Amino acid sequence: MAVDGQPESRVTLGSGTLQGILERTAESLDMDVAFLAEFDGDQLVFRALGGDAESFGWEEGGGIPLEGSYCKLVTGGALPGVVPDARANETVRDLEVTRAAGIGSYVGFPLRLSDGSVYGTVCCASHSPDPWLAERDLSLMGNLANKLMATLEREGKL
């Protein structure tokens, strides 16, 4: 079944689809979009999206350059997982993705496989800055990341 005209993710995880889980995550954090992205060579590939991804120019299976992405910076430790105001943050305000996607705030957490290697990230973004975005939101994303990876690996869906 489609949600808001978008094809529903085929990945099911217990209580719902991955897309549904991401949509509920975006809603819970009052963000425009949530996504699960894989690092694939020099690309960040959107494997699942929930919310208004279209307004960012993103689609499932599409990608952006990994270099210069928030996700790469977060996994490398150059950017904290919580960015309440992207346009005021010295690390990301001049990035192409900030301008092109119209990112105002971001929260993201690395997705690590059981062997410790980085698969990608699970993230939320909004077009508006969010001064209330905080470590508690990053904690929620960390819990989601750990549960998603454990489930996806256990079910052989990676």
pLDDT value for 17: 82
Nearest residue to 61 (alpha-carbon basis) of 31, 38, 32, 42: 38
Residues forming a β-bridge with 82:
107
The residue extents of the domains of the chain are 12-154
Q: Over 80: is that where the pLDDT of 3 sits? A: no
Given this model, what pLDDT does residue 151 score?
A: 84
φ/ψ of residue 106, rounded to 5: -155, 145
With cut-offs at 50, 70 and 90, classify the pLDDT of residue 2: very low
Q: What is the CATH number of domain 12-154?
A: 3.30.450.40
pTM of structure: 0.87
Residue whose C-alpha is closest to residue 22's, from 57, 46, 44? 46
Q: What is the pLDDT of residues 35-81, one digit of tens each?
A: 999 999 999 999 999 999 999 999 999 999 999 999 999 999 999 99
Sequence-distant (6+) residues with CB within 8 A of 27 are 51
Residue (of 111, 100, 98, 114) closest to 141 by Cα position: 111
pLDDT of 8 strictly over 80: no
How does pLDDT run across 104-136, given as a tens digit for each residue?
999 999 999 989 999 999 999 999 999 999 989
> Considering just the CA atoms, what is the radius of gyration of the chain in Å?
14
Output the six-digit token pair for 141. Answer: 């994303």
DSSP H helices, 5-134, are 18-28, 70-75, 96-101
Report whether pLDDT(153) > 90.
no
For residue 121, the 8-state DSSP code is E
